[in-house]
Amino acid sequence: MKFERLPFLLLIFLSLSVIHSKGEEITGKVSDIEGKPVRGAIVKLLEKNGSTLAFSTSKTRGEYSITFSDTIALNCIIIFSHSKFETLSLPLSEIKRNPDVTLTPGSRELQEIVVLPKAVRAKGDTILYSVDALRHASDRNVEDFIAHLPGMSVDSQGNIYYNGEQINRFYIEDMDMFGGRYSLASKNIRAEDVATVSIYERHQPIKALQDITRPENAAVNLTLKKKAMLKPVGYVKGGVGTKQEGVAWKGELFSMFIHPKNQTFITAKGTDFGKSYNLENKMRNLGDATAPTPFDDIFRIFIPSSISGLNSDQYKDLVSQSYSVSTGSKIDENSSISAYVSYIDDKTDWRGIKTSEFLTGENESEIVFYQEADNNNKAGLLETGINYELNKSSVFLAEKLSFTGIFSKGYNTTLNEESEFIRQSTRQHRFQIGNTLSATLRSGIRTFQFSSKIAFSTLPLNRLYSSLSDGKGIFQTAGAKSLKTNHNTSFSWFVGLSSIGLDLDINTEHLWADTFDIIDEYEQRNNTNHQQGNNVQINLGPFWQISNSKILLNLGIPLNLKLLSLSHLNKGVSDSGSFSDFIINWGFKSRLTVKWSPMLSSNFSLNKSSNSGDITDFIDQPIFTDYQTRITLGNGSSFSNNNWSISAALNYRDAMKGWFGNLKFNGRLSNSNRIRVSDVNSTSLNESYMSGKSKSKMAFIIAGISKLISKNTIGLDLNWQFSSQEILRNNLKLNSALNGASVKIYASLSLFRNHLEINPQTTLKYTDNNIKGLTKDNSSAFDWNSGCNLSIFPIRNIEIFISPTFSDNKKTGMDSFSSFFLDARVSWTISKFQFDLNMSNITNRKIFSTTSINSLSIVNTVMYLRGFETLLSVKYNF
């Protein structure tokens, strides 16, 4: 009987063997952040709908093994869960590549004792910051959190810096779907939805070049918590309040959907309270194809000079609207596609007074222009694009197609010193389409790189109209078209630790500079600056490079060949009405990077470059930029200059102890065959150029140090800069030297068990203007700005936010002007709702005054400020 069952049992055994042979097994290890094995972790393989396909449990040494059918799609998810750790969710495809995982300890509250994950981890060139361990209660978004990390900073434009260098990529779950518009994420994603913020030092986004060249810039990556993935996350916000004139209002919608293979972001916002939304959609990838024309920003209505200690939202009465959609998908593990469309519409009004004091050198005299203006501007910006990227260790391919449309108009009414009104208006329409293609191929010891950029820009309408009260005035229109291409090819070969290569760069430009029509007091029409031209540049750059894990040395001798041909030139510039020239320039490039230790690195570069002009140098007729100011872009002849530049930097970081420091020096010496001419009289200021040897010098030093102490960061930044240039003013050759230095002290403190948060910041800035050739005494200005963001949490769900700021500005021979501002907010959070009462300019300050110094003038600016305003808003987080 037993033998009769044997064939049956054998058949079952064979069947199981067949079934097993069609299955797949993954074996790995589960560890904590200190590398210790985790026992008892539950491992589940789930379908999209949440059904469990297989499960396992980690053993004593952290080993686990899970078996499943090989027909299961790679878009399934494996979840690792444990009562003492945060649940980890990863795509099956990623686990197949790297089955070993690390779990982050979860936070548990036990009788007022909070157990948090390790705050900082470092592995090679990657630093990971735990948001739960370092987040302050007042950190509402990712940008707030990043801003108080040691070594990190965020400027007023939303640009993110690491050790003084702007980041080159911003990832979410290691996907870059923004194309440089990362403020959409940093300003809108809640800090509480992020698990870790990672810093990728010296990040090379192209895998094929990662062991060949390493940029100095870092990248940021956000790892989201499980609750913020696989479902729509965002907020809806609405508010109403009071303002000096009318009713204040705000409405916002933000939503994101994050999947291991897909990401989508949607925004729809509008307000007349607070700040503009234009910075959220700001493009920061400067490597894309562009085709600017000489007249893009030639007409300007009275714009305030640099105003230290004052934000634009304090004096601009605005209505801002923003709409955007960004989406992207991973096609497979190495390729992705993304697209975006956005529209920004801003209406701004502001009033100000600008007094410009110009030194002439004639009997210690000075000329003062007084301008009191009431401004109104409207600007629209439409941007759309689509990007494709293939990024493998042997091949990289990227294709970007973009379109930009700019629509703006504005006017101001100006009262000059003679109590005469000037009415000025501008209008501009501009469009650009661009395409960028880049590729990198790597095979054995050979590497081939190619990039092609093509952009076409048209300026169909650019207009300035100025009229005086007696009917006299000027009327100017400008139009231009620009077609630019750039084709770069690079070959390199490896020989041991060194490589040799050749860069070939071909740039072409075809530019049409259309007419300026000027109607003077006799209504005579003049056609000037009507010309077109071609500019072809060929750059050959042989280079030699040696590198290993610690040292990179790159030497190159670029050669520049330039052919410039122009037609339809004005009489007097060229008798034949055309111009052509062939120029050969040479240069020198060197870069040395040394990684002395995992914590200390340095880089040094010495470069020599030569440049020659383009069609802009042949625009020799004056152009009004406002009623009193005219500029001439060139002097009717080809421009050339030679530049020597040197830079050195030293970076130190000990992420585990929280120390970050950087020291950077830059210097440049330029010699040109053109000198700037600045002529001023009692009615106008004219700027132009003429042939003549000119020298300019520039140098600056930046130093910074910051320290992370528990959740607190303290820091110190130092800045010194020097510049000098030769200039002609009223036929007097002058040498203008400008010195400046600033000291910034800041901190981010969380005290008394997170019940009190203080972010003080103080900046001292000194500027000195030394003009050789004038009998006028030197001029100097001193700025002192101090502010503090103070958040008080009397109970868990209530925040009282106070932001006092103080500024003081003093110029030589003048009394100082001091200002004090106070903003406040009270927030109450209950479940998913957040109620805010915002109050701005509580002190109801009416004016702000500051003095700035440039090369040959002193400018005093007075701005009329927005009054006391309030906004009561409710925000629902989903």
pLDDT in tens, 211-268: 777 788 899 999 999 889 889 999 999 999 999 888 999 999 999 999 988 999 999 9
pLDDT of residue 744: 95
DSSP helix/strand/coil, 840: strand
| Nearest Cα residue to 824 out of 854, 859, 869, 779 | 869
| Nearest Cα residue to 640 out of 618, 662, 671, 669 | 671
Helix (H) or strand (E) segment spanning residue 185:
helix 183-186
Q: Which residues pair with 257 in a beta bridge?
A: 232, 264
Distance in angstroms (rounded) separating the CA atoms of residues 56 and 70: 17
Is residue 518 predicted with pLDDT exceeding 80?
no
User: Average pLDDT for residues 156-182, to the nearest whole number?
Assistant: 88
Better-predicted residue by pLDDT, 355 or 683? 355
Is residue 616 predicted with pLDDT exceeding 90?
no
Structure tokens at 325: 């959609």
Q: Give the chain's end-to-end CA distance (angstroms, integer).
A: 68
The Cα diameter of the chain in Å comes to 128
Is residue 48 predicted with pLDDT exceeding 80?
no
Is residue 199 predicted with pLDDT exceeding 50?
yes
pLDDT of residue 258: 93
CB-based contacts of 515: which residues, under 8 Å, 6+ apart?
Answer: 477, 478, 479, 527, 528, 529, 530
Convert the pLDDT of each residue in 547-562 to its tens digit. 887 888 999 998 888 8
- Count of Cβ atoms closer than 10 Å to residue 615 Cβ: 27
Confidence at 191, pLDDT banded by 50, 70, 90: very high
pLDDT of residue 572: 56
Is residue 625 predicted with pLDDT exceeding 60?
yes
DSSP assignment letter at 227: G
21-40 core/surface letters (b: 16 or more CB in 10 A; e: else): eeeeebebbbbbeeeeebee
pLDDT of residue 362: 57
State the pTM of this model: 0.80
pLDDT of residue 574: 58
Confidence at 342, pLDDT banded by 50, 70, 90: very high
Give yes or no for a contact between 43 and 62, defined as CB atoms under 8 angstroms apart.
no
pLDDT of residue 522: 54
User: Average pLDDT for residues 63-69, to the nearest whole number?
Assistant: 83
User: Average pLDDT for residues 600-624, to the nearest whole number?
Assistant: 87
Residue 356 vs residues 161, 371, 474, 772, 854: alpha-carbon distances, Å: 34, 8, 22, 20, 11
DSSP one-letter string for 504-547: EEEEEEEEEE--EEEE-TT--EEEES-EEEEEEEEEEEEEEEEE
User: Average pLDDT for residues 552-581, to the nearest whole number?
Assistant: 79
Convert the pLDDT of each residue in 282-325 to its tens digit. 887 667 888 988 888 888 766 666 677 788 889 999 999 999 99
Confidence at 10, pLDDT banded by 50, 70, 90: very low
Is residue 34 predicted with pLDDT exceeding 50?
yes
pLDDT of residue 365: 66
Is residue 113 predicted with pLDDT exceeding 70?
no
In terms of residues, how long is the chain?
Answer: 878
Better-predicted residue by pLDDT, 50 or 279? 279
Is residue 683 predicted with pLDDT exceeding 90?
no
Is residue 812 predicted with pLDDT exceeding 80?
no
Give yes or no for a contact between 840 and 863, defined as CB atoms under 8 angstroms apart.
no
- Percent of the chain whose pLDDT exceeds 90: 43
Is residue 533 predicted with pLDDT exceeding 50?
yes
Strand ranges (DSSP E) for 640-755? 640-654, 659-680, 685-709, 712-729, 732-751
- Percent of the chain whose pLDDT exceeds 70: 89
pLDDT of residue 469: 67
Mean pLDDT of the chain: 85
Confidence at 193, pLDDT banded by 50, 70, 90: very high
Asked which of 375-384, 412-421, 857-866 is least confident by mean pLDDT, the reply is 412-421
Is residue 3 predicted with pLDDT exceeding 70?
no
Confidence at 107, pLDDT banded by 50, 70, 90: low
Which amino acid is present at 100?
D
Distance in angstroms (rounded) separating the CA atoms of residues 783 and 335: 51
pLDDT of residue 627: 78
Distance in angstroms (rounded) separating the CA atoms of residues 636 and 639: 9
